[in-house]
Structure 1
Amino acid sequence: MNEPISPWPFVGMAGLACTFFLYAASAVFAPWWVVVLLLVAWVLLLLVACAWWTPHPRRLPYVAVLSVLVWVGAVALLSV
């Protein structure tokens, strides 16, 4: 009949929501153009997550982890 609802898309979207605050808070220490690029990258990851919601629900937490790794990489490059 009906399959149970998978919790993984919700976990991934919650992770993306958390990383949005990391990306936005980067304006405190990063140049404006870096923050704009980070937010564009975040929106692209959000679009991927939305596209994968139904066909690949178990991949969404990995998108959130990728979002954290992108932010950490950008911050690491800024500190060089």
Structure 2
Amino acid sequence: MAREDAVGRVAAVLGMVLMLVALPFFLSAGLLAPLWAVVVLDACWLALFALGLWWFRTHPFRVLVLPFVAGTLWLSALAAGESLLGWTA
């Protein structure tokens, strides 16, 4: 049981570190997106980070998925904005 707790804690820490790695991408989205889109993207990142903190002890393996959700959200939002809304760098 202690080994599962340790592995879960490592997974949760890794997930939160990867969320911090994703933060500069969200903050620099203003190079392509307008201010309102950057604010929405940053709010989404903040919500995912808060969810990671909430899940840290109760569902540590779920935290490991959050950076991939964040990356998919970031890439999808910028690609959709560029193709549908005409955002240019």
Query: TM over 0.5, yes or no?
Result: yes
**Rg (Cα) greater in structure:** 2
Question: For 1:1-80, what aligned pairs fall within 5 Å after superposition?
Answer: 3-4=2-3, 5=6, 6-80=9-83
Unaligned runs of 5+ in 1: none
What TM-score does the superposition give when structure 2 sets the normalisation length? 0.83
What TM-score does the superposition give when structure 1 sets the normalisation length? 0.92
**Higher-helix-fraction structure:** 2
The residue type paired with residue 73 of structure 2 is V
Equivalent residues, number: 79
Runs of 4+ residues over 4 Å off in structure 1: none
The residue type paired with residue 23 of structure 1 is F
Question: Are the counterparts in 1 of residues 32 and 78 from structure 2 also a CA contact under 8 Å?
Answer: no
Q: How far off its partner does 1:61 sit? A: 1.3
Q: What corresponds to 2:86 in structure 1?
A: none
Percent identity, aligned pairs only, is 22
CA-based RMSD of the aligned residues comes to 1.2
